[in-house]
Structure 1
Amino acid sequence: MPKTKKDKCKQTNSINQVRYGCALGALHSVTAIPGAMPITHCGPGCVDKQYMSLAFYNGYQGGGYAGGAVTPSSNLQEKDVVFGGAKHLDQLIAASLKIMEADLFVVLNGCIPEIVGDDIGAVVARYQKKGVPIVSAETGGFKGNNFTGHEIVTEAIIEQYVDKFAPDKTTKKKGLINVWAELPFQNTFWRGDLAELKRILEGAGWQVNILFGYGSAGVKEWLTIPNAEFNLVVGPWLGLKTAKLLEKKYNQPYLHLPILPIGAKQVGDFLRSIAAFAKENEVKTEAFIKREEKEYYYYLEYFTDFYAEYWWGLPASYAVASDATYNLALNKFLVNQLGLIPAKQIITDNTPEKYREAIREEYKHLADDVAAEVEFIEDGYLVTQTIKQGEYGHKPPIIFGTTWERDITKELNGHIVEVSYPVSYDVVINKTYIGYRGALTLLEKIFTTAISKSA
């Protein structure tokens, strides 16, 4: 029997228990912008698969105004493969403009039209010449996962829409920042997280273009992107490509803070770093931190009775299997706020190679005297085997992962908190695990999970 070829991460060319969508899954980045509508040029079932995996069986987030069964699709057939589907797409766009109401239309294509050579850019260009707010994005599944697709879509909107329709691309508004953080829908808690992120930034004196979700002013907010004083990238890597594009295009500097802040310590460091970078809002930042910490530690003071006195089965060590953003954020919080011991850390989002070394460095100083190794693994079987090899001591560990990790958690007699796609045993509306308020929610989740195991 021939040997199975594996890469340096011991992975084959197939992935078990997938933890992201394909590039076309970035249609959800479009639906996350209030007033935007995706139009998809792909095979039958492609949109449904991306919706069911990313937006349904992942916190049951739902489709909303432009997602789910609403999203227009060409549903390409065999004849479109043979003769091309450009005419089919043209008809779909024309029909969508008549029926669907939106401030911006984004045409995304799938594998079939990219392989057969459909020029969606040329089709869309005809509508752009008529002044229709529409852009095209080449998101064939083989381009990469939905993180890649997200960057493709974001760039397309900036290049083809913002650059064309923004009324003022030169004036910079003092105190206005563009925020590039989590991937909508892929991150199950993105709605609540972005709302909390905007809340703490505004509390510290900033005006915020959050760009996605309820807190965004929608498509018209995107038109003010060139007016921001700077761009803020929150997380280990996603958003850096966009920030560099805007730096080049609109002469906007950017600040990269790799740690999504959870809890008082991280939020304080986060807000002070922004104030120091811009040399603005220092007084407002300190006043806001003081107010928020007073409330945060008020609740935590009462929690400490439980944490100090409850001796039965509370975890002392943990593993995290998630995307890079939540993985690093959770590690910082669990080590510094709770004093837990990191056992196994696994990043599952196929982080581009060029960012991995910088991420590894972050894990070398989780705290002054705590470091951990992080592994980049996408395959579910290998994730399970890696978690199984962890040293967790004599207490049941807590696993921060996905629905896929439930079996290995049972095998380890541990506790599981689902924090990364897919999250199939948690209905999520606007829950957040970040900032001040989200940290308290996370504490409740962790220890409710731990003590209810014996029920």
Structure 2
Amino acid sequence: MSITPLQVRRSGPTPVVADVPEEGPIEQVRYACALGAMQTVAAIPRAIPITHCGPGCADKQCGALAFNNAYQGGGWGGLGVAPSTNATQREVIFGGENRLRELVTHTLELMEADLFVVLTGCIPDLIGDDVPAVVKEFQAKGAPVVYAGTGGFRGNNYTGHEVVTRAIIDQFASTDAGPREHGLVNLWAPLPYQDPFWRGDLAELKRLLQGIGLRVNVLFGPGSAGVSEWRAIPRAQFNLVLSPWLGLATAQHLENKFGQPYLHLPVPPIGGRQTSEFLRQVAAFAGIPDAQAGAFIAAEERDYYGYIEAFSEFYSQYRWGLPARFAAIGDAATTLSISSFAVRQLGLVPAVVVITDNTPPEHRDAIRAAFAKLDHDVGIEPVFAEDSYAVHAAIRGADFGRKPPLIFGTTWERDLAKELRGFILEVGFPASYEVVLSRGYAGYRGALTLIERIYTTAISRSA
């Protein structure tokens, strides 16, 4: 296993060099396999994933993403509800198409849903089961069933998510293409279940977009109307992508398929400055009058900064016990969003950022450029690493100054935070010491919640 020194650039004194492994086994994994996209389906109201995979595969995916990751629960078709072929040696030898056909038949008879998505695991993808042919038999009869190839060797659940969304669009939603509806937007934002705060973030983002006069196909979670929103995808005025890379391929596919434009904003907004900028950009793209968007922004800022003014008394009096530098560990969207907020709104300095989502190489330069200008005088070079040995080596090599570090990370960083005598806030997978129902960190309201969590953690640890 080769070792290559990676330079971590940051604002502040001496730069830090961390020896980070380039390749090898992954210790303490931070995502699921492509089959984990069954949780993408489970996040759609009244949709049920049907998995064609080995015994235990589906259980491990939803257990990791929906239970041990902030105990989010399964929803309409998640956790133990999802049907599976539980393919065994018999299916490996003789093929599993008949078993799948039988499973889909009985699922349609016994389970109530508006959409069923057949996802494949490694076994059927390796032995060559013709899953599309089996599913097309049911589609020909008018059954709301689609298929997606999500064998684990194809990638992680970020990859699987893109495969599933494209499958639903091409096999289910595109049949309802109609006239474009001005003011309707398709929102592509957090990865359901992988991001523990996806429900709360989507609710806040929908509220904000509605506030400036848009109607939103939020597509996932309690705020979605379910399959009717998916069928309305082709009719939207535009697509909105809030991530450095996830969802961008979907938006580009929709542009090619329907001539539908998209707006790509790589930093999901947290806090007053970022959220106001975000809303102005969206309003300009959508053709919403400045006065209309400005009135909503002004009202939101009045409330937000009123709370911040009250918080400033604590912040100015208690500074001696608060962190000054932070580490951010997680996917590209989470680390970029939180780092931008921490720098621009809280005056914190990044000591190290580690991106763990196996970001496609073609997007990494743009992400580096975004981190280089977090604010006018603050930037950092992120480390791309998936193995926890490499992640923790980068954190240990960072300079946090004389104050205890603030670590935005995962359960895997809890012991390291104790070792460094710092503060830990779990913001990504796995988050096994968080219980999340509707909490989110996006927008104006989410930022206030995040501030409360940061400084409650800090003063609790200090006590």
Q: By the TM > 0.5 criterion, same fold?
A: yes
Greater mean deviation of Cα atoms: 8-17 or 183-192: 8-17
| Matched residue type, 2:183 | G
User: Distance in 2 between the 1:267 and 1:142 partners?
Assistant: 38
Equivalence for 2:317:
309
Question: SS at the partner of 1:39?
Answer: strand
User: Distance in 1 between the 2:287 and 2:136 partners?
Assistant: 43
Shift in Å at residue 283 of structure 1?
Answer: 1.9
Shift in Å at residue 280 of structure 1?
Answer: 1.9
Shift in Å at residue 375 of structure 1?
Answer: 1.0
* 2:131 equivalent to 1:123: no
1:318 touches 1:344 (CA, 8 Å); kept in 2?
yes
1:401 touches 1:416 (CA, 8 Å); kept in 2?
yes
* 2:363 equivalent to 1:352: no
Shift in Å at residue 6 of structure 1?
Answer: 6.4
| Matched residue type, 1:158 | I
- 1:196 is matched with which residue: 198, 204, 226? 204
- 2:293 is matched with which residue: 285, 288, 299? 285
| Matched residue type, 1:17 | Q
| Matched residue type, 1:74 | T
Equivalence for 2:410:
402
User: Distance in 1 between the 2:126 and 2:47 partners?
Assistant: 27
Equivalence for 1:62:
73
Equivalence for 2:167:
156
Specify every segment of 5 or more residues in structure 1 that has no aligned partner in the other structure, as ranges.
none
- 1:52 is matched with which residue: 48, 55, 63? 63
2:146 touches 2:172 (CA, 8 Å); kept in 1?
yes
1:271 touches 1:285 (CA, 8 Å); kept in 2?
yes
Greater mean deviation of Cα atoms: 272-281 or 106-115: 272-281
* 2:108 equivalent to 1:97: yes
2:328 touches 2:352 (CA, 8 Å); kept in 1?
yes
User: Distance in 1 between the 2:197 and 2:346 partners?
Assistant: 22
| Matched residue type, 2:127 | V
Equivalence for 2:146:
135
* 2:97 equivalent to 1:86: yes
- 1:325 is matched with which residue: 333, 340, 350? 333
Equivalence for 2:195:
187
User: Distance in 2 between the 1:240 and 1:60 partners?
Assistant: 28
Equivalence for 2:30:
19
Equivalence for 1:37:
48
Say what the alpha-carbon RMSD is for the aligned residues. 1.1
2:35 touches 2:150 (CA, 8 Å); kept in 1?
yes
User: Distance in 2 between the 1:325 and 1:454 partners?
Assistant: 30
Shift in Å at residue 20 of structure 1?
Answer: 0.3
Distance 1:364 1:7, change over 3 A: closer
- In the superposition, the TM-score normalised over structure 1's length comes to 0.97
Question: SS at the partner of 1:102?
Answer: coil
| Matched residue type, 1:80 | E
* 2:458 equivalent to 1:447: no
Specify every segment of 5 or more residues in structure 2 that has no aligned partner in the other structure, as ranges.
6-19
Divergent runs of 4+, >4 A:
5-9
Shift in Å at residue 77 of structure 1?
Answer: 0.9
* Count of aligned residue pairs for this structure pair: 449
Shift in Å at residue 11 of structure 1?
Answer: 2.9
- 2:281 is matched with which residue: 273, 277, 280? 273
Show CA shifts across 1:209-253 (max 9, x none): 111011111011111101100100001110000000100111100
- 1:209 is matched with which residue: 217, 223, 232? 217
- 1:361 is matched with which residue: 353, 369, 372? 369
User: Distance in 2 between the 1:20 and 1:6 partners?
Assistant: 23
Shift in Å at residue 407 of structure 1?
Answer: 1.2
Question: SS at the partner of 1:288?
Answer: helix
- Identity across the alignment (%): 56
Shift in Å at residue 364 of structure 1?
Answer: 1.1
Shift in Å at residue 7 of structure 1?
Answer: 8.3
- 2:85 is matched with which residue: 63, 71, 74? 74
Shift in Å at residue 204 of structure 1?
Answer: 1.0
1:11 touches 1:379 (CA, 8 Å); kept in 2?
no
Equivalence for 1:109:
120
User: Distance in 1 between the 2:272 and 2:185 partners?
Assistant: 22
Question: SS at the partner of 2:347?
Answer: coil
